[in-house]
Chains A and B, each alone.
Chain A
Amino acid sequence: MGDGERPEAAKTTYREAMREALRDALRSDDRVFLMGEDVGRYGGCFGVSLGLLEEFGAERVRDTPLSESAFVGAGIGAALAGLRPVVEIMTVNFSLLALDQILNNAATLLHMSGGQLAVPLVIRMTTGAGRQLAAQHSHSLEGWYAHIPGIRVLAPATLEDARHMLAPALADPDPVLIFEHGSLYNVSGELLPASAPLDLDHAAIRRPGTDISLITYGGSLPKTLAAADELAAAGISAEVIDLRTLRPFDARTVAASVARTHRAAVVDEAWRTGSFAAEVSARIAEESFYELDAPVERVCSAEVPMPYARQLEEAALPQTADIVAAAHRAVD
């Protein structure tokens, strides 16, 4: 059972924060409903919607058949009809079955209808690797989605973002994709009540620094912060930027940071080639070329299908030591 919300700073987890966000949304707007595989009776594959069926009933929390294309399509239809669906696709791996719906319908109907049809749809997906789920169930494809015009792509990495990104996402008249890294659900901490509506447009400097800008998002944030700690012990002051939104991404904050540090490393769990890190790196080259004192580093996954064995998976994923090494290459 999740913690009840208290007005003062509350100890909570990422999972519980997301649940509170859903609860808030369901309570405050009758048009909002949640649908996906196992979100109702099971309480969600990752436990996010535990208790919500009991609280809000089967009309508002709907279990769907095992067909992503069908229920994402239904979500699009519901949004077109004026509802505010939150569609949960169990993981980004399964979203591939709904890719046509997301790209060719959700993202494109507004344009193709000349502005007549809006799709105010929110899709939540779990993403990432690190739990020995092997080659087909360990993808990080948020970079692919960030490639599509017409949608917004979010990657909450902190408790605060998990709690407060859903509301503006629902308020957005266009489709919003929210990627929750599987390793973050158990992260616990103190959550202060929000003092102002959350702004989705800006990246956050999670740790200021002067020698190198470490740019990351989502599940890689904890490792990047750990790397910054290690680097500080070695005399390198690293600035850590959490992008928060991948599309449109806040290139200005990144450029301002690189203008101060003159070096950059981008940390992204996706495979290196054509990754979102490649986009960030290109933007830095375009906008901050004359500020750079070293090539932009990328710390990404090895280009292999994700292994099943734990040691091999660890070796394939970007780890804190890899981030530290990249920073040293740029600074030393």
Chain B
Amino acid sequence: MATINLAPATARDARAAARPRPQRAPLGRRVRRNATAYLFLAGAVLCFAVFSWYPMIREVIMSFQYTNFAGNTRWVGLSNYRHVLADPDFWSAWRTTGLFTLFALGFGYAVPFFTAVVVNELRHVRSYFRLLVYLPVMMPPVAAAFLWRWFYTPDDTGLFNAVLHALHLPSVQWLQSSHLLAVLCLVLFSTWINMGGTVLIYLAALQGIAGELYEAAELDGAGILRRVWHITVPQTRLILSLTLLLQIIGTMQVFLEPYVITGASNDTTTVVYLIYQYAFNFNNYGSASALGVILLLVLVGFAGGYLWLGRRLGEEE
């Protein structure tokens, strides 16, 4: 849903700053005005402080500490990080998370876009398509995940194997066979339940493309695929790059799919799931925090790279 376009807001602020300041109000009134303003802000700021900012700092602190059951803490330097990096589960979790992200990009990113492009060409009952694609989004995700786990049943009672059976194809051990296939199955589910939101965003963005552009391209002899590549994609570039970033950040935090569908079997433990295991199965808060900080650095790295790339591309134009 996120179109985090800061441009209008910052432009407005810049304009406000450029305007010659009106004569300063008397001190008393300024204090009163600020007091009122902070009164309005107080509730949200307090919630941010307690549940966002403070935990953030605490996470970094805890990653350098050892906490035992009695709540005694002592500083242990980098030992939590060393422990996490030496854990074979760490690399396995990153491999799974990386694979998940990769598949989600190859599959989960392309499918909604092409669905939107094709649906946008349809002249009839378009609301039918929009309605259907959004239905899974409205399901409680755990209910949907159990439903899919049932579809993936390895014997022929599962829906997918029943379909293969009906087509006289051999059945597949979806979640139990290879790590690769298991992750792919999770991505398939994830795409199914999440694509509604992105399809709606893309459909709205496609409506904004001026018809003249297609007209001109067609006169120049561009076929449908070239029109998609040279008109549709560049015209929706902003939205596309934003959903790309959000999808990378979102899929790197995947937790629900392995937690509910595979239950970490077949090495499908992801990074966030591993954090959860450290913290609540092994009560190892230090390692959980250290892994959290590592994940955070990776995510911030992605976001920073995105901003840097966006600026670079912006300068070139």
**Do A and B originate from a single complex?**
no
Contacts from B to A (Cβ < 8 Å): none
A contacts, CB < 8 Å to B: none
